[in-house]
Amino acid sequence: MTTKSTYPLGDYQKLYINGAWVSPTDGATFESINPYDESVITHIAKASQDDALQAVQAARHAFDDGEWCTLSGKERAAYLRAIAAKIHENLEYLAYLEVLDNGKPIDEARWDIADTAGCFEFYAQLAEELDDTAETPVVLSDERFDSVARREAVGVAVAIIPWNYPMLMAAWKVAPALAAGCTMVLKPAEATSMTAIELGRIAEKVGLPKGVLNIVTGFGSELGDVLTTHPDVDKVAFTGSVPVGKHIMQKAASNVKNLSLELGGKSAFVVFDDSDIEQAVEWILFGIFWNQGQVCSATSRLLIQNGIYDKLMDRLVAEAKNIRMGSGLDIGVKLGPLVNEKQYRSVLSAINKAQADGIHMATGGKADFVKGYFVAPTIFTDVPTDHELWTTEVFGPVLAVRRFDDEAEAIRLANDSQFGLAAAVMSADDARCQRVARAFCAGIVWINCSQPTFTEAPWGGYKQSGIGRELGEWGLNNYLETKQITRYHSQQAW
């Protein structure tokens, strides 16, 4: 049974620049493909470098000369709340668009859209508080001076985002940037542009001042360098792959831009002997197969202590085989297709390579669908620590498993990675969980669960998983500069 077969689609062939919907300068579009049946959903405006320049100029003008910079935090918060309300109002439609574009199951899409609205509400609150907290006194060692630390908007921010949570990833950057008082150019991933354009429509409906949020759809390889090197851009916030993150870092160095990066991961889930088997199975499956495994924090390396290994693996493989695949719009489907053909080929090639190298596949592989980019929930066991299946990100529904003897070995294996985004530990012994959590080299650590994400808590990685933290007050700080204002108030000669 399908939740809702169709909604009328909007016009996705225009860019949102300076508060107006404009065609790309060269009139180009590109196809958006439904990963479930490989059909063309719609055509999307393909911005040129000129369009990207105009978007940057609009954001610059809005920051320097527009009414935005005259607004208080409370006034900015009102816009953020109005955006959240419109997202709530259109939740079903937006979730439907995410399923078409990305392939994810509709319940997950609904969850994402509700979270997107929640993110705007959360940063509305922080924007209001900023009116009172922007300036804090600094106690100096010399009484002839007094000083305040003042937090101010960074300026023009560029957000470049991936396709795995299209609207939510936009919210993680747009909401704190607007809360801080920045203006922004948003470039969504080419695979999933529709909800970003819908965000532009919502911004227009709530009357966000022109130029504050500009949206350019198109290809990162063509627009990226313009957006990340332009001298009028003060800040670049990127979520995506490590190679593109490194490229952006080099480009942004041209004029030392403020930069935050949320990159990939290969996160470990350590399960000790004393864990409840059914709880472990549930969280392990969620940790790797949620969103088809296309999750930067997916716990894609599983470490199981010897005593529980055989029982847990039996249950895990049985449950993985039971996961229902199909159209994200069908009720009861838990695993949709991967986002596009490129990702599908890349995940299948990682699976084929592991099999060719003799690694045991307990279940999974290419799924039996005539059309669509389906990969079955896949589990490999006894994966060598130097094999790429253990060391590199697959970004698909592929779990690599190993056994371990004791706590020290588990920590060593978990931390032996170029990444450090997330890690999880499960045990009935809370003291052990707390100890292991503190020993992990990772920005996000879960105890007795994997993946729950809260707008209030910091999100980001160690090592090659990125720079900086999103969400919570840390996410707001990404878009704020700190200024020292020091006054000499003594009559004494200096």
Contacts with ligand NAD, residue ranges (CB under 6 A)? 160-164, 187, 189-190, 219-221, 224, 228, 239-241, 244, 247-248, 262-265, 296, 393, 395, 421, 466
Smallest gap from Cβ 364 to ligand NAD, in A, equals: 20
Least Å from the CB of residue 298 to ligand NAD: 8
Edge-to-edge strand list for the sheet holding 156-160: 20-22, 15-17, 213-215, 183-187, 156-160, 235-239, 258-262, 466-467
Q: Which two tokens stand for residue 466?
A: 């990125």
Cβ 224 to ligand NAD, closest distance in Å?
A: 2
Q: Which helix (H) or strand (E) holds 378?
A: strand 375-381
**Which candidate in 119, 182, 296, 433 is catalytic?**
296
Among residues 119, 155, 216, 229, the alpha carbon closest in space to that of 475 is found at 119
Nearest to ligand NAD of 308, 400 (CB atom): 400
Place of tokens 């170029």: 418
C-beta separation of 31 from 40 below 8 A: yes
Q: Please state the closest distance from residue 164 (CB atom) to ligand NAD, in A.
A: 5
Query: Per the structure block, which two tokens stand in for 12?
Result: 């996705």
Give DSSP secondary structure letters for 62-91. Answer: HHHTSSGGG--HHHHHHHHHHHHHHHHHTH
Q: How far is the CB of 66 from ligand NAD (least distance, A)?
A: 26
> In this structure, are residues 183 and 68 in contact, taking their beta carbons and an 8 Å threshold?
yes
Residue 350 corresponds to which amino acid? Answer: A
Minimum CB distance to ligand NAD smaller for 155 or for 240: 240
How would you write 109-157 as a 3-class SS string?
Answer: HHHHHHHHHHHHHHHHHHHHHHHHHCEEEECCCCCCEEEEEEEEECCEE
Q: Which is nearer to ligand NAD, 176 or 326 (CB)?
A: 176
Closest separation in Å from C-beta 432 to ligand NAD: 28
Secondary-structure breakdown of the chain: helix, strand, coil percentages, each rounded to the nearest 5: 40, 25, 35
Task: Provide the minimum distance between the beta carbon of 95 and ligand NAD in the complex, in angstroms, as a whole number.
Answer: 19
Supply the DSSP string of 463-486, one letter for each residue.
Answer: ETTEES-BSHHHHHHTTEEEEEEE
Residue 12: how many other CB atoms lie within 10 Å? 19
- Nearest CA among 391, 400, 394, 390 for reference residue 344: 394
**Smallest distance, Å, CB 451 to ligand NAD?**
12
In the bound state with ligand NAD, the residue whose beta carbon lies nearer, of 30 and 369, is 30
Residue 414 has what DSSP assignment?
A: H
Reference 61, options 24, 19, 22, 16; nearest CA is 19
Q: How many CB atoms lie within 10 A of CB 218?
A: 25
Phi then psi for residue 102, to 5 deg, are -105, -25
State which residue, 155 or 396, has the beta carbon closest to ligand NAD: 396
Q: Which residues pair with 145 in a beta bridge?
A: 488
Q: Which is nearer to ligand NAD, 203 or 236 (CB)?
A: 236
The CB-of-225 to ligand NAD minimum distance in angstroms stands at 6
Is residue 433 annotated as part of the catalytic site, yes or no?
Answer: no
Q: What's the DSSP call for residue 209?
A: P
| Residue 262 among the catalytic residues | yes
Return the number of the residue (17 or 280) whose C-beta is nearest ligand NAD. 17
C-beta of 79 vs 479, nearer to ligand NAD: 479
Give the residue carrying structure tokens 């991961």: 265
Instruction: Give me the catalytic one of 98, 262, 393, 407.
Output: 262
Of 243 and 307, which CB lies nearer to ligand NAD in the complex structure?
Answer: 243
As annotated, the active-site residues are 262, 296
